[in-house]
Structure 1
Amino acid sequence: MWLEIFLALVLGVVIYWFVSRDKEETLPIEYGWWGPGTTPTTGEDESIRPFKVETSDEEIDDLHWRIDKTRLSRPLEDSCFHYGFNSNYLKKVISYWRNEFDWKKQVEILNRYPHFKTKIEGLDIHFIHVKPPKMPAGRIPKPLMLVHGWPGTFYEFYKIIPLLTDPKSHGLSDEHVFEVICPSIPGYGFSEASSKKGLNSVATARIFYKLMLRLDFQEFYVQGGDWGSLICTNIAQMVPSHVKGLHLNMAFVMKNSFFLTLMLGRRFQGFLGCTETDIERLFPFKEKVLNSIVRESGYMHIQSTKPDTVGCALNDSPVGLAAYILEKFSTWTNSDFRNLEDGGLERKFSLDDLLTNIMLYWTTGTIVSSQRFYKENLGQGINVHKHEQMKVHVPTGFAAFPCELLHAPEKVVRSKFPKLLSYSYMPRGGHFAAFEEPELLAQDIRKFVGLVERQ
């Protein structure tokens, strides 16, 4: 009898191991058509066309007219950024935007890197493609796709690109030299918005994968934060044989173990694999996690349910758009900045850089389509998509910036990315890593790629 029980237990363990072990699943490569009308019967134009950012006096005059018509409300006394963007400081931003900001000069800066467009699944996809100015003899650059999120743009990467494509000129080793591709998510900036419902991160991942193939890259690295981290993760889940390495500065991990670690990490620190740094970044739990999520996620509820409603106001008012977006560049950079009347915005960014990002939304009229990305990805709920439960079986690097919206301990990241080669506690920086701390992020990417290449 005992033998039968023992054998049954062993058999049960074996069956459980086979059922529960990691399965290297891949996301199916499907097909979509996101342009207007029905899918054409003829083949798609696969040409890659040069593109140039342009502006006009009429565009600037219209912006100035709208700024001049701004009607502001008075902030509460001593409210700082606790109620949102403080309108006292907004007056300074408006004045600079109206009287000193030189959009034509910023357009010249945008055009320093080569821009292109190409049609994929019915949409004109915009990207910049930066090749190294020089390469060591006998070497070829490593292709690297950088993907932005919301409310950012491809412009977030302008300061990190030279550190990756021309490292020696910036005091870095030329051991790793990259050829950088930065696409705009469909519906953001110069990438055409979908005409149909359903264009989510998986569809975007497929489009960006097709872009890399069109550029003749069979193997490449990908890096992203915010939506970019999810899109890059989906690319790795879809075509793992084509992704040499995945580097992230934010992780979408929806496993129960994540929330268990968050709640119990301080009490069962050793058992749950939490370090002292993890504890410092996650506790007190109520303030650093619960209150923070409630305080910073209101926009997400709006954009995941009815993005077009608030979009009507933001697409009509440049100042409203600036306040809505720039508030994120305050508190997502450092949550303590909400205690400052100016939101600490100019501690990490220049007004020229911040307003250039705003102008990429304003001049293209893409705030509504960019917000719809939340509806497409979160509108059906959390943990309802296949990719959310899938692990990622490509070499992965993770940079944990201390002021990120929600800290993810190494053990939590590894639960979704079992081939995690590097996990770095970054010394400073928040959500917009490439924009805030390009040197730190570039160094971590280079470190990770070095580990991949030495495997």
Structure 2
Amino acid sequence: MRISVLDVIFDFFSDNMWWIQIFAVLLLFRFVSWVMDKMNNGKLEIGDGWWGPGSKPHTPEDESIRPFKVETSEEEINDLHQRIDLARFTEPLEDIRFHYGFNSNYLKKVVSYWRNQFDWKKQVEILNKYPHFKTKIEGLDIHFIHVKPPKPPAGHKVKPLLMVHGWPGSFFEFYKIIPLLTDPESHGLNYNQIFEVICPSIPGYGFSEAAHKQGFDSVATARIFYKLMSRLGFQEFYIQGGDWGSLICVNMAQMLPSQVKGIHVNMCFISNGTFFILMSLLLGRWFPWLFGFRERDVQLLYPAKKIFSSLFRESGYMHIQATKPDTVGCALNNCPVGLAAYILEKFSTWTNPEYRYLEDGGLEKKYTLDDLLTNIMIYWVTSSIVPSQRFYKENLGQGIGTKKHDKMKVFVPAALAAFPCELLHCPETWARKKFKNLCSYTHMPQGGHFAAFEEPLLLAEDIQKFMGIIQKK
């Protein structure tokens, strides 16, 4: 019996139709992703804005930079203590640990320490160990700290580095990493790069004035921080951020590709290459090589159901703050104990999701109560919990990935430090969909969402590595 070539081809396709269909679908998704990438190569417009009260005045804005000092008073402390004394606690369920949120048994311990041992005046002195300043930009009083190297080594060019925090953090997150970047030699570190560090407070957070009008989002923040750097005399600079700080830095890089010489992030907002990411998440466990996944990526991403269960478990706050921030904010702004529980719960599970299995939420494994309560106090004394939550509504109120910058790429030299306990792991192949000049990608050995606060040495080392790569180019 003679078998024709056509018969062989027909039999091959019949026997392998399932794999051929998968391959065709993958090719289609690759093509669609390529087309969409090509469509989003633009530059983000800088624009302008006015976020102060009333109409923008006709007179030029005062561009002076004023020294600022964090202060407190007996009245402020007494008011806090009175409110703490009136707190009501609900008994937790048996063996509940942190599965329902902040365990109220441990909360009593934290509150007792806050009321009887925590020394806010001492912490104010610590806050003031770095120089603070304020300046008016687009109608808002912008707060920042600016730390210069005490003794820059001869022959080393000092690099300006803007570091941007997120929610529910503050500029205080960077207090441990600043000396490692500005004065490494005094801390026993042999770094080749020396920085002067600028850490602003996002408007509406801490000591930066909140916007008085709707629409103040990450793009507006990026523009204000660019104006801040320009006002400080920096025409070229480097930027670093996590959480909202990551998005703000991305917007700055999209807006100012000539001025931003490098961007380092420890959280990646994934909004490019959606088709590729979806397919890689569905099939990457079986075909990791096809999507560029490393063994560590597979460990952190699968089983995929853990991603969705984690996002469901940890994103309730986001839905509230992106829709009705003022409602829950009213309660938090009036009750310090409620504010502490609401914020500190994030420092538990966002540092390590496994900490929810512990009675104390693992809070004191990586932080001291003094450090944690200092961050809480920054929110409390400035009444900034409500405007900080509004930032979610301004950025996410119309849906995730709906803004122009969400689909735009970043072309400046970039680095991602991927900490294993971050809220969502971002493989290098995903990051390259956003950062087209990704010079450094590091699987960090440990750490979670609050990298600078939790693992300052690891983050400083990765920033140094990135700067060394840029310097060699």
Per the shorter chain, which TM-score range? over 0.9
Are 2:265 and 2:416, in contact at CA under 8 Å, matched by a contact in 1? yes
Once the two structures are TM-superposed, the CA of residue 139 in structure 1 deviates from its matched residue by 3.2
Amino acid at match of 1:294: F
Scaled by the length of structure 2, the TM-score of the pair is: 0.91
Secondary structure at the aligned position of 2:289 is classed as coil
Counterpart of 1:10? none
> Of the two, which has the highest radius of gyration?
2
The residue identity in structure 2 corresponding to 1:282 is L
SS for the counterpart of 2:291 is coil
- The 1-side partners of 2:50 and 2:173 are apart by 29
Residue aligned with 1:46, SS: coil
Q: Is the 8 Å Cα contact of residues 140 and 209 (structure 2) preserved in structure 1? A: yes
| Identity across matched positions, percent | 70
TM-score (norm 1): 0.95
Matched, 1:176 2:212: no
**1: CA distance between counterparts of 2:398 and 2:104?**
35
The aligned residue for residue 392 of structure 2 is 374
Please give the alpha-carbon distance, in whole angstroms, between the structure 2 residues aligned to 1:90 and 1:109.
25
CA distance in 2, matches of 1:187, 1:103: 22
The answer to whether the aligner puts 1:278 opposite 2:297 as a matched pair is yes
Name the counterpart of 1:219. Answer: 236
Query: Counterpart of 1:125?
Result: 142
Moved over 6 A (4+): 16-19
Where does structure 1 lack aligned partners over 5 or more consecutive residues? Answer: 1-15
Q: Tell me how far 1:260 sits from its aligned partner.
A: 2.6
Q: How big is each residue's C-alpha offset from its partner over 1:200-232, in whole Å with a ceiling of 9 and x where there is no partner?
A: 000000000000000000110000000000000
Letter in 2 for 1:270: W
- Alignment correspondent of 2:43: 26
Partner Cα separation in structure 2 for residue 32 and residue 355 of structure 1: 34
Counterpart residue number, 1:90: 107
* 2:425 alignment partner in structure 1: 407
Conservation of the 8 A alpha-carbon contact between 1:24 and 1:393: no
List per-residue Cα deviations over 1:231-279 (Å, max 9, x = no partner). 0000000001001100000011123122332232202211011111001
Q: Is the alpha carbon distance of 1:17 and 1:94 closer, same or farther for their aligned partners in structure 2, counting shifts above 3 Å? A: closer
Which residue matches 2:62? 45
**1:274 maps to amino acid:** F
Pairwise mapping of residues 141-152 of structure 1 onto structure 2 (< 5 A)?
141-152=158-169
State the partner residue of 2:326.
308
Residue 155 (str. 1) matches residue 172 (str. 2): yes
Between the aligned partners of 2:164 and 2:286, the Cα distance in structure 1 is 37
Relative to structure 1, the CA distance from residue 111 to residue 225 in structure 2 (aligned partners, 3 Å threshold; closer, same or farther) is same
2 CA distance for matches of 1:59 and 1:297? 33
Match status 1:396 vs 2:411: no
Q: Which residue of 2 aligns with 1:326?
A: 344
Paired residue type of 2:288 = Q
Show the counterpart of 2:358.
Answer: 340
1:451 aligns with 2:473: no
CA distance in 2, matches of 1:319, 1:353: 16
How is 1:33-112 mapped onto 2 (pairs within 5 angstroms)?
33-112=50-129
Whether contact under 8 Å (1:126, 1:191) holds in the other structure is yes
What amino acid maps onto 1:439 in structure 2?
Answer: L
* 1:190 aligns to 2:207 (yes or no): yes
**Secondary structure at 1:363's aligned position in 2?**
helix
Return the match for 2:278 from 242, 252, 259: 259
Q: What is the aligned residue count?
A: 440
For 1:361-416, what per-residue CA distance to the aligned partner results, in whole angstroms no more than 9, with x for missing partners?
Answer: 00000000000000000001122111000000000011000000000000000111
Letter in 2 for 1:337: Y
Partner SS, residue 339 of structure 2: helix
What do the CA deviations read for 1:410-432 (whole angstroms, capped 9, x no partner)? Answer: 00001110100000000000000
